Amino acid sequence: MDLGLSGKSVIVTGGGSNIGRAIALGFAREGANVTVAELDARQGEAVVQEAQKLGSGKAAVVATDVTDFAQVQKLVDTVVAQHGGVDVLVNSVGWDQLMYFTQTTPEFWEKIVRLNYFSVLNCTRAVLDPMIKAGHGAIVSLSSDASRQGEPREAVYGGIKAGINAFMKTIARENGRYGIRCNAVCPGVTVPTDKAEVGAHSMWVRKESMFTDEQLEKVAKALPLRRIGRPQDVANAVLFLASDAVAGYITGQVLSVSGGYSMIG
């Protein structure tokens, strides 16, 4: 099925690693003009080179700290100048360390809030003006099933991701009149398949600090689909929601992509 994404101008934040990487390459396969907003410019450039091999209309990396609004605005201005606008924004930047709440510190809370929430606020605000002017757009923000279930060792992260769910619903209500659709995707445990998929700033740099192989086996056995999620699983859902051709009447939704970990009707 043609998703109608060929030639679309797409920004993927955190597009250098894991889920973000898979999303950027997914848009490339569809012929979109992909801009990877990435703090790790070297990792982002590697993704861009791969995207170009897959048939992307145009692909580029813009080194961006998405917690800094000035840098985000410069990113969006650059994309508008090059491609005439922004058709799709994917807020994919995310970071966490698994710790019980009593083990965390205010400094940790601040880092988690800035990386996971301020990044979404900054990027969403920056793209809304050109999207409103154009009369269309799609914004997909990566949340987490930790926002829906409550997950030990992810208290702050899960709380912030729940905030993203509510934020995206509100932005959907405020901007639907302008033809802008806004949705959230909630991955479960999603593990990169190769070290080449992980950038220097990724929380998966040291996989063992997240999950041991034994723990991952236990997670897989507990899921209805009996397997751990892979980046492409999430990317498929994001491309679906970004497509006006197949999801043009879907907005304000929170979709779990977690092998059945959460089942919320």
Is the predicted pLDDT of residue 206 greater than 80, yes or no?
no
Domains of the chain, residue spans? 9-257
Check if the beta carbon of residue 132 is closer than 8 Å to that of residue 117.
no
Per residue in 219-234, pLDDT tens? 899 999 999 999 999 9
Reduce the secondary structure of the chain to three states and give it as a string. CCCCCCCCEEEEECCCCHHHHHHHHHHHHCCCEEEEEECCHHHHHHHHHHHHHHCCCEEEEEECCCCCHHHHHHHHHHHHHHHCCCCEEEECCCCCCCCCHHHCCHHHHHHHHHHHHHHHHHHHHHHHHHHHHHCCEEEEEECCCHHHHCCCCCHHHHHHHHHHHHHHHHHHHHHHHHCEEEEEEEECCECCCCHHHCCCCCCCCCHHHCCCHHHHHHHHHHCCCCCCECHHHHHHHHHHHHCHHHHCCCCCCEEEECCCCCCCC
Mean predicted confidence (pLDDT) in 14-41: 95
Contacts of 125 (CB under 8 A, 6+ apart): 69
Interaxial angle between packed helices 18-29 and 41-54, expressed in degrees from 0 to 180 and rounded to the nearest 10: 30
CA distance 97 to 149: 18
Q: What is the mean pLDDT of residues 241-261?
A: 97
In the structure, what pLDDT confidence band is assigned to residue 205 with cuts at 50, 70 and 90?
A: low
Residue 142: pLDDT band (50, 70, 90) is very high
254 has a pLDDT exceeding 90:
yes
pLDDT given at position 152: 93
Query: Is pLDDT of 18 > 60?
Result: yes
Give yes or no for residue 175 having a pLDDT over 60. Answer: yes
Q: What percent of the chain has pLDDT over 70?
A: 94
Residue 157 is among the residues annotated as catalytic for this protein: yes
**Separation between Cα atoms, residue 193 and residue 206, nearest integer Å:** 13
Mean pLDDT of 63-70: 98
State the Cα torsion 212-218-223-227 to the nearest 10°.
60
φ/ψ of residue 8, rounded to 5: -70, 150
Q: Quickly state the pLDDT bin for 207 (edges 50, 70, 90).
A: low
What is the mean pLDDT of the segment spanning 100-114? 97
Report pLDDT for 211.
77
Average of per-residue pLDDT values in the chain:
93
CATH topology of domain 9-257: Rossmann fold (3.40.50)
At 26, is the pLDDT very low, low, confident or very high (cuts 50, 70, 90)?
very high
Residue 65 confidence (pLDDT): 97
Residue 159 has pLDDT above 80, yes or no: yes
Tell me the pLDDT band of 215, cut-offs 50, 70 and 90.
confident
Q: Which among 157, 178, 249, 261 is annotated as catalytic?
A: 157
Residue 193 has pLDDT above 90, yes or no: no
Pick the most confident of 47-56, 132-141, 194-203: 132-141
